[in-house]
Chain A
Amino acid sequence: MESSKVIHAFYTDDEVLMDAVKAVKAEHHHIEEVFCPFPVHGLDKAMGLAPTRLAITAFFYGITGLSFAIWMTNYMMIQDWPQDIGGKPSFSWLENMPAFVPIMFELTVFFAAHLMVITFYMRSRIWPFKEAENPDPRTTDDHFLMEIPVHNNEAELTALLVKTGAVEINIVDKH
């Protein structure tokens, strides 16, 4: 397959960008990507991105942490080496449970927070020594970049993007 061409359209204002995204979508063009220097509220919906499920994963990671804490306190304090500490014998986990609430809570938070963030880093492909993939350094400062694939319709797309207020339009080969 030949290397595909894309249009890089730059904007300098978040509201102009939002209108541009809506206009491009209205014309039924596919927006490959938008690079932003800061989160633009509602952009994901306008681009038609599916909602993220990271919060749901956090819930299940939290359940995992809670279960781990229950297993660990039961195994260590009740099953493996029960001790009579301060006249409070370790006959059953349920009777000793109140003393384990802090551990259960902390491990729930620990698992939910860390595993969710790791999932986020993996899904968004960010980790140490990863090379940045934003095509232009200005997109972390004050420029927004909309990337649209070209299928022999450069002229039509360029005209549309100019009309929406793009400050710079480049056609580049994407490898």
Chain B
Amino acid sequence: MSHYEAPIREPLVLGDKSYHDITEDIAKPIEGAANKNWYIAFYISLAAMLWGFGCIFYTVGTGIGVWGLNKNIGWAWDITNFVWWVGIGHAGTLISAVLLLFRQKWRMAINRSAEAMTIFAVFQAGLFPIIHMGRPWNAYWVLPIPNQFGSLWVNFNSPLLWDVFAISTYLSVSLVFWWTGLLPDFAMIRDRAVKPFQKKIYSLLSFGWSGRAKDWQRFEEVSLVLAGLATPLVLSVHTIVSMDFATSINPGWHSTIFPPYFVAGAIFSGFAMVQTLLGIMRKVTNLEDYITRMHIEYMNIVIILTGGIVAVAYATEFFIAWYTGSPYENYTYLSVGAATGPYKWAFWSLITFNIITPQLLWFKKIRRSFIWTFIISIAINIGMWFERFDIIAIVLSKGHLPSTWWRFEPTFVDVGIFIGTIGFFFVLFLLYARTFPVIAQAEVKTILKSSGEFYKKRSEQGIPTKPAINIVSAEGTSDKNNKE
């Protein structure tokens, strides 16, 4: 077994760590008490969540009319928020699945939290179409079951139904992938727990994981196959979300560029959200030795790449809209009409936050800086929200008949539900950060010898990673049966 890694690669685990130190570091945030900042953040998020729930109940009780929708713009903030959250939910599976297939070891420090973020974000996304139905108790009508008026089935030609299948497959497979990876780490917490209640809970969560050689063999195979399945899955989900628009005949939506461009945008925004969350988490949980400057830089490189794809897509859309010479194309979200029309503030927000700001990451100093990364990641989160808002609100605000032109203005309910989902998301994430092992410690232990700072330094000096065998005397052994 070789633990060699080229010395030019920066270490992934800093400091003089042993296997046991990793256990201690990961278990500490769970076993210790929460500090004041955690409680402040938690209560703010909880208040936002409850406000959002109030707005949802108001919507369901009164009707969709309490939103700012009109006969021209039949979906606006709800579908914007849906696509935004689904997009954010793309980084987790990308990190854990695609980077696993590419054997990128740096994924191990961030995959657990990124997947948690994915699952929590998809929860938020799923809320919006269900509320938008107006009668959420009939949500089961989207399932392929005969309805009560005869054997009329769901329409499998509809991209909205493809979405139902894509999102539910994505959510459930991500959840299973995440949980399977969590089993050994829950087992670690379980075996350390001193309080009986805690032991019981983690025993339940760990499904009785024992860590036999055969279990590990199967675990690795299952992880690999799940990664292979999740990779096309993650690409399919946003492809299908984009088809909600692309299969329509609206100018600005009816675009074959949408699927790849939406997928790139989703990864772009997902990584930005991972940066936002981990930038804070590594500090408050004292995991700076595991989530290092290099992890932040690698994620920033992915952001430059996917942001570049998005920028090229914008440029293409803008050029084609102009090149057709069609007046209808001048109402699309990327056109001269949009840049100068009543929604120009939304257009220029998109360009500023999504195209211009991320270019700062070309500078090595900036992409290795925690504070700059945090600021840019927030900018991208805002920019990607505007992208979806522009696609929906600008395109729908001007139809083929000028007499139908109408703009969208959100009501306090629209805003409240959106803020509520942000609160709900952070409530889940904060609870997760206190109760779950936030780093895949079993996986990190496998790369400690090849990528840990301590071992890398030693191997540069020619010291083998295998320790010298220290033979214990035969008297040191015990025979428990004789003692009994």
Which residues of chain A have a CB within 8 Å of any CB of chain B?
Answer: 5, 12-16, 18-19, 33-44, 47, 49, 51-52, 54-55, 58, 62, 72-73, 76-77, 80-81, 83, 85-86, 88, 96, 99-100, 102-103, 105-107, 109-110, 112-114, 116-117, 120-121, 123-134, 137-142, 154, 158-159, 162-173
Tell whether, in the assembled complex, residue B216 and residue A39 are in contact, meaning their CB atoms are under 8 Å apart: yes
In the assembled complex, the CB of A115 is this many whole angstroms from the nearest CB of chain B, namely 11
Q: Report Cα–Cα, A139/B479, bound state, in Å.
A: 20
Which residues of chain B have a CB within 8 Å of any CB of chain A?
Answer: 1, 3, 18-20, 23, 144, 150-157, 159, 161-162, 165-166, 169, 172-173, 176-177, 180, 183-184, 187-188, 190-192, 203-204, 206-222, 224-226, 229-230, 232-233, 236, 240, 243, 442-443, 445-446, 449, 465-467, 469-474, 476-481
Residues in B with CB closer than 8 Å to A140 are: 184, 187-188, 190-191, 209, 211
Tell whether, in the assembled complex, residue A132 and residue B472 are in contact, meaning their CB atoms are under 8 Å apart: no
What are the 3 tightest A-B residue pairs by CB atom distance, in nearest-first order? Answer: A130-B208, A137-B191, A165-B469
Tell whether, in the assembled complex, residue A132 and residue B213 are in contact, meaning their CB atoms are under 8 Å apart: no
Residues in A with CB closer than 8 Å to B213 are: 33-36, 40, 43-44, 47, 49
Residues in B with CB closer than 8 Å to A41 are: 1, 446
Name the one of A83, A107, A134 contacting B165, with C-beta atoms under 8 angstroms.
Answer: A107
Name the one of B19, B172, B191 contacting A134, with C-beta atoms under 8 angstroms.
Answer: B191
Q: Report Cα–Cα, A170/B235, bound state, in Å.
A: 52
Tell whether, in the assembled complex, residue B172 and residue A114 are in contact, meaning their CB atoms are under 8 Å apart: yes
A102 touching B191 in the complex, CB below 8 Å, given contacts A81-B153, A132-B210: no
Tell whether, in the assembled complex, residue B226 and residue A110 are in contact, meaning their CB atoms are under 8 Å apart: no
Q: Report Cα–Cα, A102/B211, bound state, in Å.
A: 38
Tell whether, in the assembled complex, residue A54 and residue B218 are in contact, meaning their CB atoms are under 8 Å apart: yes
Name the one of A55, A99, A137 contacting B221, with C-beta atoms under 8 angstroms.
Answer: A55
A132 touching B209 in the complex, CB below 8 Å, given contacts A99-B156, A113-B226, A116-B222: yes
In the assembled complex, the CB of A107 is this many whole angstroms from the nearest CB of chain B, namely 7
Q: Report Cα–Cα, A47/B212, bound state, in Å.
A: 12
Residues in A with CB closer than 8 Å to B20 are: 141-142
Tell whether, in the assembled complex, residue A165 and residue B219 are in contact, meaning their CB atoms are under 8 Å apart: no
Closest to A74 in B: B156
Tell whether, in the assembled complex, residue B192 and residue A35 are in contact, meaning their CB atoms are under 8 Å apart: no
A42 touching B166 in the complex, CB below 8 Å, given contacts A37-B442, A113-B226, A117-B222: no
Residues in A with CB closer than 8 Å to B165 are: 102-103, 106-107, 110
Q: Report Cα–Cα, A68/B144, bound state, in Å.
A: 12
Residues in B with CB closer than 8 Å to A117 are: 176, 180, 222, 226
In the assembled complex, the CB of A102 is this many whole angstroms from the nearest CB of chain B, namely 4
Tell whether, in the assembled complex, residue B144 and residue A113 are in contact, meaning their CB atoms are under 8 Å apart: no
Tell whether, in the assembled complex, residue A164 and residue B469 are in contact, meaning their CB atoms are under 8 Å apart: yes
Q: Report Cα–Cα, A166/B39, bound state, in Å.
A: 46
Name the one of B3, B161, B187 contacting A132, with C-beta atoms under 8 angstroms.
Answer: B187
In the assembled complex, the CB of A121 is this many whole angstroms from the nearest CB of chain B, namely 7
Residues in A with CB closer than 8 Å to B211 are: 35-37, 134, 139-140
Q: Report Cα–Cα, A15/B216, bound state, in Å.
A: 16
Q: Report Cα–Cα, A39/B209, bound state, in Å.
A: 13
Q: Report Cα–Cα, A14/B467, bound state, in Å.
A: 10
In the assembled complex, the CB of A123 is this many whole angstroms from the nearest CB of chain B, namely 7
Q: Report Cα–Cα, A33/B210, bound state, in Å.
A: 11
In the assembled complex, the CB of B190 is this many whole angstroms from the nearest CB of chain A, namely 7
A127 touching B216 in the complex, CB below 8 Å, given contacts A106-B166, A117-B222: no
Residues in A with CB closer than 8 Å to B177 are: 113
Q: Report Cα–Cα, A43/B446, bound state, in Å.
A: 13
